[in-house]
Amino acid sequence: MNANKLFTYTLTPEDDGRKYQDILLRRFHFSRKVLQKLKVGENVWIDGKFTYLTARGKTGQTLVVNILDEEPATVSGETLPIEILFEDEIFLAVNKPPGQVIHPNSRYQTGTLANAVIGYWESKGETRPFRPVSRIDRNTSGVVLIAKSRYAHQQLAALSIRNKVEKKYLGIVEGNFPLEQGEWPLPIRLKSGSKIVREVHRDGQSALTLFRTLQHYPGYTLMEFTLVTGRTHQIRVHAQAAGHPLLGDDLYGGSMKYMQRQALHCYSYGFTHPLNMQPLQIQAPVPADIAMLIQSKK
């Protein structure tokens, strides 16, 4: 057994008499889909011996689970530049440049982040599907987290549901933003007659963005945004609704004077790692176009 592929847990008195599948489901938030996958083949051991997930545990036993299954890639790999911020046995985090889409579509069939990541893995002799945990717009830069297994993906999904994932963005908005900090608890929906544009509307999905002003400049303001929810275009829509759209965001009324893409960068992604239960914070350096604006004098 490869130690890098294994989840290990020592049962406590609270687990005594419970089925292993129930322990994994209730205590560690394994999804039912992952548990079903684990039942195919020998993927679960107790004290070094193969066991069934339906067996019942005893205090002090060591439960070991194979969390990395071999799966074929679903996207063609390409040799493309890729900036790796973090990598371990179950996660990969990269700094996505502006202008690159996450996954191939009818308009962008090659050159995507997925093509780059699969190509990187293939260069190391590894094969797996592309499973992004987080997605950002084509013209937004910054941290994108990718799960290397079905287990890793569902663990982050469970954390996100419980608001245990912290995503922070740097953004530059038009004008002199008047508040030091606060929140935008504004529901968002797809704008009538559009397939892309979102708007704040009372009938929309709940959305919450926390904001903090970092620095004022002539004509614009540097801000930090923390996503509590993750609606499509959330920060962009909230900034527009506040009367201070992001620079370069022509879709939501932003001026193109300073930038040719929305001035938005996911610079920090934090969560508790599901294997060692230690806090992990991944940060991406500020891209050159945003750096040029915020290094200017006040």
Return the active site residues.
137
CA contacts within 13 A on the Cβ side of 268: 14
Helices (H) and strands (E) in the chain, counts: 6, 16
Pairing of strands 91-96, 62-66: unpaired
Other C-beta atoms closer than 10 Å to the C-beta of 140 total: 24
> Angle at CA 282, nearest 5°, toward 277 and 283?
160
Residues 6+ apart with CB under 8 A from 78: 110, 111, 115, 116, 118, 119
> Angle at CA 94, nearest 5°, toward 135 and 114?
60
Residues 6+ apart with CB under 8 A from 162: none
H/E segment holding residue 279: strand 279-283
Query: Radius of gyration (Cα) for the chain, nearest Å?
Result: 22
